[in-house]
Amino acid sequence: MAHDIEVECSNKGICDRVTGECVCAEGFYGGACEYMACGGGIENPCNGHGQCKSMMELALIANDNGDATDFTYGSDPNNYDTWDGHRIHGCYCDDGYEGYDCSLRTCPSGDDPATYGQSDEIQLFVCTATSGSFKLKFRQAETEYLPYDITVPELQTYLNDLSSLKDGILSSVGAVTLNYSSNSNVTCTSDGSNVVQINFIAIPSDVPAFIPTVDQLVDDAMGGTLGSGSFDFYTNGASVSTYTSVKGTTENDVCSNRGLCNRETGICECFPGFASSDGQNAHGFYGDCGYRVPKTTTYSGDYQ
């Protein structure tokens, strides 16, 4: 059984016999030198560009592809496997910084413009309701309650205003566009006949599904009570009616895999023939090397 024997200064320091205090080795602190410090050291943890947190704390804020998780670590004090939950610390870096000590600048990421045969993510949903309201959540951002009969174009505006879809997106039409199948552009219908398609035009790779909240959505055919309405999503190749969702297969690589990231500045240094894109492989100022420069065109350094 490991870590059940107490040793002087945790074997990570020397006892000062005059004061009875531990003088800890570099990278350790605490009365018994029992804590491992964050990158950047005791005096400047995370280099001022992040928060120093224990493994227990880091588990609580972990995410999977941007979605919150229910991970825990060290919550059971009697579990020897997680004895280090509150002893070992790591950096939770601010936006724009990364690395174990948050000393590296983050460069833009995007789709590789030199690869082909890939698809943007397409998600489908069908909402069945006769009154009430709903919310949609993507990653860690959520809309307010929206009326069941909101039009699809209006819903598109609300979705593109979500911070999880808005941040870093340069497209004039936003991160997603919505199409609908029925003659009516109302989002929720009484017969569930309107299939709404969400096209991810500016967020590469496979992305998590939207999560609906339907506790205020009403369907008279299902009893007419709050929560009786339905909001069904179809992703990763699942079909509804004659429509099929698509799992995103584009890359989300640093500097679009067509340049080198300068970790001191956070600026991509693009390879010859590639330049900054608009996030959708056209020319723009996103800084991700995601634009393939036509052979007859030369751009100045302002666009690299």
Model confidence pLDDT, tens digit, residues 15-39: 999 999 999 999 999 999 999 999 9
Number of CB atoms found within 10 A of residue 282's CB? 14
Identify the band that residue 254 occupies on the pLDDT scale cut at 50, 70 and 90.
Answer: very high
Please give the pLDDT value at position 299: 57
Rounded distance between C-alpha atoms, residue 264 and residue 88, angstroms: 27
Identify the band that residue 274 occupies on the pLDDT scale cut at 50, 70 and 90.
Answer: very high
Identify the band that residue 137 occupies on the pLDDT scale cut at 50, 70 and 90.
Answer: very high
Residue 302 pLDDT > 60, yes or no?
A: no
Average pLDDT (175-180) is 95
Average pLDDT (156-170) is 89
Identify the band that residue 295 occupies on the pLDDT scale cut at 50, 70 and 90.
Answer: confident
Average pLDDT (183-192) is 93
Average pLDDT (120-124) is 97
Please give the pLDDT value at position 80: 85
Average pLDDT (130-148) is 97
Rounded distance between C-alpha atoms, residue 66 and residue 139, angstroms: 5
Share the mean pLDDT of the chain.
Answer: 93
Residue 304 pLDDT > 80, yes or no?
A: no
Residue 173 pLDDT > 60, yes or no?
A: yes
pLDDT tens-digit series, residues 203-222:
999 999 999 999 999 999 99
Please give the pLDDT value at position 110: 93
Rounded distance between C-alpha atoms, residue 273 and residue 295, angstroms: 7
Residue 303 pLDDT > 90, yes or no?
A: no
Residue 2 pLDDT > 60, yes or no?
A: no
